[in-house]
Amino acid sequence: DTGVSQNPRHKITKRGQNVTFRCDPISEHNRLYWYRQTLGQGPEFLTYFQNEAQLEKSRLLSDRFSAERPKGSFSTLEIQRTEQGDSAMYLCASSLMGQINEKLFFGSGTQLSVL
């Protein structure tokens, strides 16, 4: 069990560029979550998947953000036309659906800096 893996760990980009992050959940986990965290704040929910279906999206997820989980395994989060306000840590978590006692396990995150 290798845990939740996120790539890249760090991304520096110029305003207006597109970026894509990848998350590989724990292998048998069928729920996958994306969160955003800015300095000094708790993680804020963005969206979650149950298998390949995206079941809920936050209002924080503007039209420039899109998340996919095409085969119910890994997921990608793309930000188009990045803005300086997108600078944050993007966290991915996974859990096992169907367990009565659900637990979310997080990856190490992708730190995005938009210049």
Partner 1 sequence: GQQLNQSPQSMFIQEGEDVSMNCTSSSIFNTWLWYKQDPGEGPVLLIALYKAGELTSNGRLTAQFGITRKDSFLNISASIPSDVGIYFCAGPTSGTYKYIFGTGTRLKVLA
Which residues contact partner 1 by CB under 8 A?
4, 6, 31, 33, 35, 41-45, 48, 50, 55-56, 91, 93, 100-109, 111
Smallest distance, Å, CB 16 to partner 1?
A: 26
43 vs 86 by CB, closer to partner 1: 43
- Relative to beta strand 110-114, strand 10-13 is parallel
40 vs 85 by CB, closer to partner 1: 40
Smallest distance, Å, CB 101 to partner 1?
A: 5
Residue located via tokens 């000094």: 40
Cα dist from 48 to 64, 66, 72, whole Å? 17, 12, 12
For residue 70, cis peptide bond before it (omega within 30 degrees of 0): no
CA atoms within 13 A on the CB side of 76: 10
Smallest distance, Å, CB 72 to partner 1?
A: 16
81 vs 103 by CB, closer to partner 1: 103
Quote the CA–CA distance of 108 and 95 in Å, as a whole number: 15
Residue 93, H or E segment: strand 88-95
Smallest distance, Å, CB 48 to partner 1?
A: 6
66 vs 111 by CB, closer to partner 1: 111
